[in-house]
Structure formats: C-alpha cells, structure tokens
Amino acid sequence: MMCEGDKVYDAPGDCPVCGMDLVPLEMNEDEEQSNYLRLLKKLKIALFFTVPIFVVAMSDMLSDNPLYKIMPQSAWNWVQFLLSIPVVFYACFILFKRAYASLITRNLNMFTLVGIGAGAAWLYSVIALFFPNLLSATGEVHLYFESATVILTLVMLGQVMEAKAHQKTHSAIKELMQLAPKKALRVSGDVEQEVDLSEIKIGDVLKVKPGEKIPVDGEIIEGSSHIDESMITGEPIPVDKVLGDEVSQGTINGNKTFLMKAKRVGHDTLLAGIIQMVNDASRSRAPIQRLADKVSAYFVPIVVGVAVITFIVWFLFSQEHPWTNAFVNAIAVLIIACPCALGLATPMSIMVGIGKGAQRGILIKKAEALEKLKTINLVLIDKTGTITEGKPSVEELVAVEGVKKIDMLQLINSLNQNSEHPLAKATLKFGRERHVSALPVQNYESITGKGVVGEVQNQSVALGNEALMESVGAKDNHNLYAQAEKFINQGATVSYLAVDQEILAFIVISDKIKENSAQALKALNQKGIKVIMLSGDSLGTVKAVAKKVGLTDFKAEMLPKDKLEEVKKYQAQGYKVAMAGDGMNDAPALAQSDVGIAMGTGTDVAIESADITLVKGDLQGILSARLLSEKVLKNIKENLFFALVYNTLGVPVAAGILYPFFGILLSPMIAALAMSFSSVSVIANALRLRNAKI
C-alpha cells in the first residue's frame, strides 16, 4: 500500500505520516468501488443526522418558530447534541483521525484545519450546552452543532466526489481489465479442452475462433485472420495477421480460425502491463505536484496563525459577545482556508490526463514524464522499428558464381536460429518459406553492432556488416561490396556472409517506413523540436531512410553506448532530450534521456526503460503525447490559480476585514460551503480533460 506521496506500507489503512488513505499498489475495480461505497455510506449517515440539526438550527431565525411549540429551545439543543454524536464519532471520524495524524507527525494539511475548526466548534457547543454560565453571564449562548456537522459533512462530500472522480478517470482501464476472456480453448494433439485463463502456460497451443477475444499474448502458428486492436491502439481498422505475427490479449479475432502459441501469460501480457503502468503513473507525483505540497506545508501554519490573530483581535475589540465573535470568526478562517482545492489541483489533472492518454494508446509510466514532455526541444529517434515498421523482410540473396544460394541461406539461418533480432527473424522466415533447415553451430558469438560469428560444419562463418568483415579479416575477392551499394542507397540493410575469411554472399533486407513517419517528423520540426535519427545500420542505409522522411540530421553505425553518449552530450549542451526507440540496444539511451519513449511494438527491455509507451508504435503518438502534456499542465495551472486566489481572498473575508465597512461576516457553515465549492470547481475543471482532443 502507498500514500499519495512516495511512502510504501505493508498493510491498508491511513498513512501514519499524513493521515491520507493508503491506496493499493495494484488497484482493481472492486477495491476502488469498495472505497467509494464505504465513503458514500458514511456520507449518507452524516447527511441523515446533519439535515435535522441544520433544520433545527435554522428554524431559530423564524419569528414564530413552530418547533418551539413542540418543546422548548433548551430541549432542541439537546436533540442537536445527540444527533451530532454519530456524525462526529462515526461518519466523519476519519477526518479527525487524519487531523490527529497530521499534528503528531507535524505534516500539516487540509485535515488539520478541518479537524481543528470543526472540533473546536463542536467542543465549544458541548461546553456551552453543559456549562452555559461559563461563557455568558445570562447563560444564553449560541450553539454551533450545525456548523460543526455541516462542515464535516461537506468535507466528506468532497472526499466522496474525489473517490468517484478517481473511479471515473480509471474507466478506460476498467474496460481494459474486462477485455481478457475468462476461458480459452487449449489444443493438445487432436484434443481440444476449454480451460481457465489461469491454467494457460507459455508454449501452450490455443485455438481462437471467429469473433472471440484473444486469451493471452502469443504468435500465430497456423492460419491467419483480421484482428481488431482498437481497444489497445485506438486504431479502428482491423490489422491483418498471418503466420509468425504476434497477437495480444483482449484484442478481437475477425472471421477466421487460427492456432496460436502462448508467449506471455498472466501479469506479463501487454494488457496487464498497460493496466499496471497506468495505475503506477496515476499514483506517481510530478514536480509541479510537489510544489503544491510545499505551498500547503507553509500555508497551513500561516492560516493557523491568522486564526489565532483573528481570535485575539475580535476578543479584544468586539463590543458584544467577544468570546463568541472571536471564536466563530477564527473557526471561519480555519474552514475557508482549508486547502482541499490546492491538494486536488494537481493529482486530479494528472489522473484524468493519464486516463485520457491510455484511451489513445499513450501509456505514461511516471507523472513526471507528463510534465517534462512539454519542455522537450530535442528528440533522438531510432530507425528500425521506430521510423520504420520494424518488420524487415528479405528482398534478395546474392551469392558469388559457383556457390548455391540455398547453401548460403542455410549457413545464414544456422547463425540466426537462436536470435531475437528483427533482421534475424526476417532471414529465418525467408528460410522457412523455402524449407531450409538450420545446422548446429559451435563457438557462437554475437558482436554488438556488428553481427554474429560461429563454426558450422568445421567452417568459420561470419554474418554482419562491413565492420564485422574487417574485424574477422574477410576478403571481398568477388567485388560484393560494390554490388551491394545500389541496395544500400535505396535504404535497404545488407548483411555479408563470410566463410573461412572469404565473403561469398550478402542478403538484402528492407524495412518499410511507417506510413506517417515523415508527416510526424515534419510536425515535430514545425514545433521547433530538433530531430536526429540514430541507427546502428550502415551509413548508406541510414542516409537513404533519412532522405525519404525528410531528416537532415542523422548518425549511423551507432552502438548502444554511442546512443547513450549522444543523449548525455546533448543534455550537457542544455537540451531537454527525448529518446524514442524500440529495441534492447535503445534501453540505455531511453533510461538516460529526460523522457524515454518506447514503441509498444518493441522489446520488453525498451518498454521497461522508457517513461512513455506508444502502444501503436506510431510516431504520431509523440505529437499526441506532447499535446496531452500541454493540456494537462495548462489545466493544473488553472486549478492552482483558482485554488490560490480563492484562499487568498477567502481568508481576509472570513477574518472579518469587511465587517467595519460593510458589516459582512461569514459563518463557519457558509465558509465550509464555499470551501467545498472550490474543491468541486477544481474537480470539474480537471474532468474537462476527458473531452480534450489530442
């Protein structure tokens, strides 16, 4: 369990430091609903007893009070006292517990003011009821049971509304949680068995029929279909999926049956990751939120001081009822200054913004990233899988005269058989289509940024770029470098195959540029954001791709450490750097950057290292995330402005500054109503983000 700060505890309850509710690290719909219903029940009880108290108290303003015909005022005073007990000691007692915790830990907050104000009003009324002559020579003292109970009930109303708003901001996540089917059809030989999702293990073969939801993340091993991924990517057009393509839990199968192999189950699926990521993000704190916390920390002691001064001034200078006037106005100051709105201003906007992002396939891991994104002025972008689709395919295999292409392909796939690299997968798929088998490999070694080497049937074999060929001493005796040049200039990737230090073949692999990459990169430039492409590919390939997408700044043949150094270099120059990538080799740079942006189509390592994940893997998502950041920060500033202006104006009025000129005073009850209205306005303003266009 964790509080609204960064502290984590083992058991549920209230935070021992700030008194706030502890929230589960893995919040689910039932827990949120339970929390809301618990608060709602207490609010109903508070209302049930507060309304009669309010009616009795307000009836005193009538010239011919009908209630006094039933029984005298003194008896009604006792009725108010008895009715107030369930409100103070049960329905709203949680507010006093939080106030007590804040005082003990010296972490003053809005509950400090509410607890002191409402508690003092109730205690004053009890003393006045039991010992009236202590406060007045005549024994006639006005009671404030209605102020105490109305204040507490209004604050509880604010808590219920906050819980409800929190529930609403997670509506998209709740829908995602319901996407996963309860059952799946597991296939073992000729036997098909319907099993619970919890029974599915990695490697299980599952059958998915037309119209069914996909049970877990996996890979199609037989058949093909159209998959509706709109619930995760936000893209309404169904995606064609064929043999070897991956499918995600919760997406909906089209009109064909296919077999899939389970690759990720339980909490490891993309869907589960989305849910957890949004939950974590909504409970993380942005720097601007910490600023609001600091303001509150200074604000509360100042307000308590103003309340004390108000009490002293009214007691010394009030002509009539000095005790009562001093007491009532001091309480009004405490109540109207309650920084509920200030406390809600930032977290409400962030929660709604993160929920909005999730609906659009923008998963924000940390609230801090949402704030930093607006300041980004440099984006470093990986090529493969980020600008391009990351689904490379083999265009051509070129071999020297007298060498069989099928033999060269067998050597290539022998080296690639255990690799997860996209280029390796492309050659393996190319080989499977031609029924090429892989041979055993000895002394296998993967050389980062260059390629792979090993021994196949007692032959020394190397597969990779020119740098690898040079490092293993391979000779280009057949002028293959020159032949490969035309493919490289078209943006394709070329991997050379050397056998016993002689280059005998090369394989041409192309990766289609994503449909809107050029448009998105142009839009980033128009916003004044510098864009540089970083790639481990050859200079010729990178240059060709850069030309196609309209980029003039690019760097090729970069190792993971080179990308990391680039991020550090530009940060040292004063740039606010975002890194966008999808591969394991991008992970160090993603972690180092001010904002790391991972493609949802990329590797788990990249996604874990990033602050933001674009589920659709679309560069347009960077623009949408930036726009969301701008709208959320604007909303936060609006909320902080309203909250601070309200408190700045409200405290002097409650202290009685207008009384000498206009005879205006605020009762504690009216102050509580105004305080609650400010909180409601902040919540309403934050919820406007749900309809924002990004």
Provide the 8-state DSSP code for 134: G
Provide the 3-class DSSP secondary structure of residue 512: coil
Q: Are 291 and 306 in contact (CB under 8 A)?
A: no
Residue 3 CB partners (closer than 8 Å, separation 6+): 9, 15, 17, 18, 20, 21, 22, 23
Helix (H) or strand (E) holding 178: none
229-267 b/e (C-beta count within 10 Å ≥ 16 → b):
bebbbbeeebbebeeebebbbbbbbbeeebbbebbbbee
- Residue 131's CB is within 10 A of a number of other CB atoms, namely 11
Q: 427: number of CA atoms within 13 Å, CB side?
A: 32
Provide the 8-state DSSP code for 22: P
Hey, what amino acid is at 566?
A: E
Provide the 8-state DSSP code for 90: I
Residue 637 CB partners (closer than 8 Å, separation 6+): none
Cα–Cα–Cα angle for 150, 153, 154, rounded to 5 degrees:
85
Bridge-based pairing of strands 554-555 and 530-534 is: parallel
Q: Please count the helices (runs of H) and the strands (runs of E) in the chain.
A: 24, 22
Q: Report the distance separating Cα 546 and Cα 559, nearest Å.
A: 18
Burial grade of 277 (CB within 10 A; 0-12, 13-18, 19 or more): buried
Annotated catalytic residue 382: yes
Cα–Cα–Cα angle for 37, 40, 46, rounded to 5 degrees:
145
Long-range contacts of 15-22 (CB under 8 A, 24+ apart): 15/101, 16/101, 16/105, 17/101, 17/105, 17/107, 18/98, 18/101, 18/102, 18/105, 18/107, 18/109, 19/97, 19/98, 19/99, 19/100, 19/101, 19/102, 19/107, 19/109, 19/111, 20/98, 20/109
| DSSP string computed for 435-502 | TPPPPP-EEEEEETTTEEEEEETTEEEEEE-HHHHHHTT-B-TT-HHHHHHHHHHTT-EEEEEEETTE
Q: Which of 522, 511, 491 has its CA nearest to residue 620?
A: 522
280, 382, 582, 618: which is the annotated catalytic residue?
A: 382
Long-range contacts of 563-571 (CB under 8 A, 24+ apart): 563/380, 563/382, 563/534, 563/588, 563/589, 564/588, 564/589, 564/592, 566/380, 566/532, 566/534, 567/380, 567/592, 567/593, 568/592, 570/378, 570/380
Give the strands of the sheet with 246-247, arranged side by side: 191-196, 183-188, 205-208, 258-264, 217-222, 246-247
End-to-end Cα, the chain, rounded Å: 33
Catalytic residues: 382
